[in-house]
Structure 1
Amino acid sequence: MANQIHPLMSFFEGYVRNFRRLNLSSLHNRSMFTSREIDYFARLGEWLGFDAYVEDSKRNDLTGRSRPMDLSWWKWDTRLDKENYVSLSLHLERESLPQKAEDTIEKLFTESAEGYRPDHVIGIQYVNSLSDIDQLNEKILTLNKHQKSQVLMIYRELNRKNQFERIKAFEGNSEGWIEIRSAVALLDPSYYWYMCFEEEWEGKAKSI
């Protein structure tokens, strides 16, 4: 497993490596974190050749209403279709409030028309405790049996007292989870946030 390349986990690795470049400090509010992280993935999608849209509409067939996707990547290829997008390649949701974790998952796996079933989904979700992850991941696997997307879930647990985050990323599909990575987020000496992988974390910080 460790020797295989999993595309969505590569996106997580880039997210960790480049987080300091978002220039998010201890003074920024959670809306700014959301905005800059979504913008990071929007630019990534455009660099990879997709059309990226923020707050893009997606119909929920169970309710008959449309709920916006935080970010979507659409694939355009006139060799296959000269009038319509070939596929919804990515649906991303980013949520700061732990109490909205299940709602975020339901948005990612909404029952919708075939053209709106994403090939890939990414969820960036704060949780009250990393112990909540197992239950949330079970819900994802249940809902993804029908949607059959490739999934990357990034869970973040914030220790406000120490200004420190533990992060767990899970890549999987409709059959189960394929790879797990752990990271941490810390403030540098100038009080800007950066991330590094848990195995790279200096031993002195592990007392937090």
Structure 2
Amino acid sequence: MIDYPSFHLMQFFEGYVRNYRRLNLSLQHNRSMFTSREIDYFARLGEWLGFESYIEDSKINKLDGRSRPMDLSWWKMDARIDKENYISLSMHLERENLSKKDEETIEKLFTETEEGYHPEHVIGIQYVDDFERIDYLNQMVLSRNEKLGSHALMIYRYYDQLHDLDRIKAYVFDPQSCTETRHAIAKLDQSQFWYMCFEEEWENSLGGNRAGEEVCVSS
């Protein structure tokens, strides 16, 4: 068996932040367009990395006894190992606009499923009501991922009324714990298009104040 190295998932978040302005999302776009373009960004990224990307792909949910669509999947093909079948589900991504569906999003990412449908990596991108909600959701990720054993990147977005911007909080998990965090902000530029930059860059250039220090939750 060929041993493929795991992705450095935080690099995916860094690329997402650096390239966000290129998605051309303006003040006029609704949240459905945000979902569409962000999923399309990761679909193209998967293809550039050599995977086969599928939007609204299906995955067996054992608890429901039926298939349930994945917003995006990356599948690995290697004829040196198997000439007819994909050798792994390399990534499962979910993108959710509604904060009231934050728990449902995690359930979809970490559902009990059939052999062959266990994703090596998962990415969740979702809106939450506030920073306080994130700790609860991260504890849920740790609990649900005990059986699945995936490497995970969870990206949370919420509105910071004090500074009139969106806060973006990213957390990387291995199967046992949270291992890394990175923070960014999202704002409208002078042309009323959304861009992102890392929190420390925004603070250095504009004199912003840090909205509290965030750390990984403990397992």
TM-score under structure 2 length normalisation: 0.89
Query: 1:103-182 counterparts in 2 under 5 A?
Result: 103-159=104-160, 164-182=165-183
Question: How far did 1:6 drift?
Answer: 6.8
> Residues 30-69 of structure 1: CA distance to partner in whole angstroms, max 9, x if unpaired?
0000000000000000000000000001110111111100
CA contact (8 A) 1:184 1:198 kept: yes
Aligned to 1:57: 58
Separation (CA, whole Å) in 2 of partners of 1:161 and 1:40: 30
Where does the alignment leave 5 or more consecutive residues of structure 1 unmatched?
Answer: none
Separation (CA, whole Å) in 2 of partners of 1:133 and 1:191: 28
> Residues 81-140 of structure 1: CA distance to partner in whole angstroms, max 9, x if unpaired?
011100000000000100000000000001001100000000001000011011100111
RMSD: 1.8
Task: Please say if 1:203 is aligned against 2:202.
Answer: no
Aligned to 1:15: 16
Structure number with the higher helix fraction is 1
Letter in 2 for 1:48: L
Question: How far did 1:173 drift?
Answer: 1.3
Identity in percent: 63
Where does the alignment leave 5 or more consecutive residues of structure 2 unmatched?
Answer: 1-5, 212-219
Letter in 1 for 2:146: K
Secondary structure in structure 2 of the residue aligned to 1:94: strand
Question: How far did 1:156 drift?
Answer: 0.3
Task: Please say if 1:34 is aligned against 2:35.
Answer: yes
Letter in 2 for 1:96: N
Q: 1:160 to 1:97 in 2, by over 3 A?
A: farther
Question: How far did 1:164 drift?
Answer: 1.6
CA contact (8 A) 1:163 1:187 kept: no
> Residues 159-191 of structure 1: CA distance to partner in whole angstroms, max 9, x if unpaired?
479752001000011110110001000111000
Separation (CA, whole Å) in 1 of partners of 2:210 and 2:134: 23
Separation (CA, whole Å) in 1 of partners of 2:151 and 2:21: 27
Separation (CA, whole Å) in 2 of partners of 1:186 and 1:205: 13
